[in-house]
């Protein structure tokens, strides 16, 4: 590569990356293009929250936890969540209904209620949903049992295995006894 007479640069050429400083450039310095950490990067908190809510329903505390890495102050998150609740984007009642709808076909009342409480759903709403779930628990347990086993237990070991499976899914013990029958011989 040929250099122009009087130039003092590297033989590789005069191209430099952004933010670099070349000492022999006549006293001028290249401006750094690094992002300023004090300015927000990417979408705003509200835009992120709406993006999350457009995919599925969230409980207020769950959404606050997801937004935490992007916020400087907890008050910012609370303000955004309050605004979303006023505008109808965020609803704990909708979240609870959505969670029940997603889980009811595979899990029992106890497990769903525990998850609702874990997400901070109000106790009166949990009680109302619990009653609705208890009304359909036997048929839901029967469907889960039929998909997994399909035949009644023939001995105590098989009875215990099937009962443990249903109890692990959160179905009530009275429903399990009714479904499996209590007259298993040794």
Q: Do 120 and 60 contact (CB within 8 A), yes or no?
A: yes
CATH code at 44-90: 1.10.10.10
- Residues 139-152 pLDDT 10s: 999 999 999 999 99
DSSP state of 2: P
- Residues 82-129 pLDDT 10s: 999 999 999 999 999 999 999 999 999 999 999 999 999 999 999 999
Domain ranges of the chain: 44-90
User: Whole-model pTM?
Assistant: 0.69
Q: How many whole angstroms separate alpha carbon 166 and alpha carbon 162? A: 6
């Amino acid at each position: 590569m040929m250099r122009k007479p009087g130039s003092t640069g590297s033989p590789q050429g005069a191209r430099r990356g952004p933010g670099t400083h070349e000492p022999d450039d006549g006293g001028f310095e290249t401006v750094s293009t690094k992002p300023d950490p004090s300015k927000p990067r990417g979408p705003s908190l509200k835009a992120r929250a709406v993006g999350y809510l457009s995919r599925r329903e969230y409980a207020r505390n769950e959404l606050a936890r997801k937004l935490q890495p992007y916020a400087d102050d907890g008050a910012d998150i609370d303000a955004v969540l309050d605004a979303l609740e006023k505008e109808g984007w965020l609803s704990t009642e909708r979240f609870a209904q959505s969670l029940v709808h997603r889980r009811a076909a595979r899990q029992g009342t106890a497990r769903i209620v525990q998850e609702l409480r874990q997400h901070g759903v109000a106790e009166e709403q949990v009680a109302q949903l619990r009653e609705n779930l208890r009304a359909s628990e036997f048929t839901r347990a029967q469907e889960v049992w039929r998909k997994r086993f399909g035949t009644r237990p023939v001995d105590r070991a098989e009875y215990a295995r099937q009962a443990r499976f249903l109890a692990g899914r959160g179905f009530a013990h009275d429903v399990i006894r009714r479904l499996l029958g209590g007259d298993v011989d040794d």
